[in-house]
Amino acid sequence: MPRLRIADAEIEFEDTGSGVPLLLLHGFPATRRLWSEVAPALNARGLRTIVPDLVGYGASSAAGVALDMTSQARWMWGLLDALGIGRVWLVAHDVGSAAAQLMTVAAPARVAGLVILDGVYRTEWAMDAIESIRGWDWAQAQRLSPVLVRRLGKTAHLREVLAAYAGEQGGRQLIRAARDLDPRQTADLDAALAASGVRSLVLWGRDDRYLDLDTVARPLARLLDAPLAILPGGHFTPSDCPGEVGEAVGNFVADGGNR
């Protein structure tokens, strides 16, 4: 698996297919495996997918630095620079969409289009859902993964996504990543996002119980002047309905982001 050192981080990623490049970003508490059933469908449509583990998640790492989404945005641009990719389509889920929003306002000319799936808006990051992880006892880190799998691992695919966090080291990864999440980082992006002019699409699981359709998805879509498509899934749409996700993203890219 490719692995690159970017500034103070080591990023492991998958780079498959050829053609127009897409950067697929997962959220918390996922890994790049979240996209394992979506990326092949996009590759089959003649698209290149770069799918990293965010730094501090899965197999990507950095010591002694914050794992917040502002840092993730900087690392992700660094990864694309190292791969020689100038302009890219950003496709992001959950808090990975905070990194994508920050990437967009930092370099809008480099973003061909933005797709947000069950993502964040202003300070709406569903932080209450991870409060127990943020407060988890470091000494009991090995007990975190089984709890998380019972709570979220309703399918074999989601259990595969969460497998990276088994054991003490995996539990410590999750605690550290959870404690570094900071909703203030997207609190004041409205004007910059609206001014970016980046063509956008918002996809949302009909049964998302963490990020509400009416209070998060609809206002986000209005801010981005983007169509909102409701998909037959819960919060983890790339896992719940990968066929629908792949089709929606592929069609959006094929249409050049036209609405």
Q: What is the mean pLDDT of each run of 10 residues along the chain (259 residues)?
A: 95 97 98 98 98 98 96 98 98 98 98 98 98 97 96 94 97 98 98 97 98 97 98 98 98 81
**Quick check: is 8 in a domain?**
yes
Residue 123: the pLDDT is 98
Close Cβ partners of 132 (under 8 Å, ≥ 6 residues apart): none
**Quick check: is 179 in a domain?**
no
**Quick check: is 120 in a domain?**
yes
Report yes or no: 78 and 7 within 8 Å, Cβ to Cβ: yes
**Quick check: is 67 in a domain?**
yes
**Quick check: is 148 in a domain?**
no
Residue 199: the pLDDT is 97
Residue 258: the pLDDT is 55
Q: Which structural domain, as residue segments, surrounds residue 250?
A: 3-131+186-254
Residue 1: the pLDDT is 86
**Quick check: is 114 in a domain?**
yes
Residue 10, Cβ density class (10 Å: 0-12 exposed, 13-18 middle, ≥19 buried): middle
Give this prediction's pTM: 0.98
Residue 154: the pLDDT is 87
Supply the CATH number for residue 65's domain.
Answer: 3.40.50.1820
* Tally of domains within the chain: 1
- The pair of three-digit structure tokens given for residue 138, joined into one six-digit string: 């470091």
Report yes or no: 162 and 145 within 8 Å, Cβ to Cβ: yes
**Quick check: is 159 in a domain?**
no
N- to C-terminal Cα distance for the chain?
36
**Quick check: is 147 in a domain?**
no
Q: From residue 104, how far is each of 18, 156, 189, 255 by CA, in Å? A: 23, 33, 10, 20
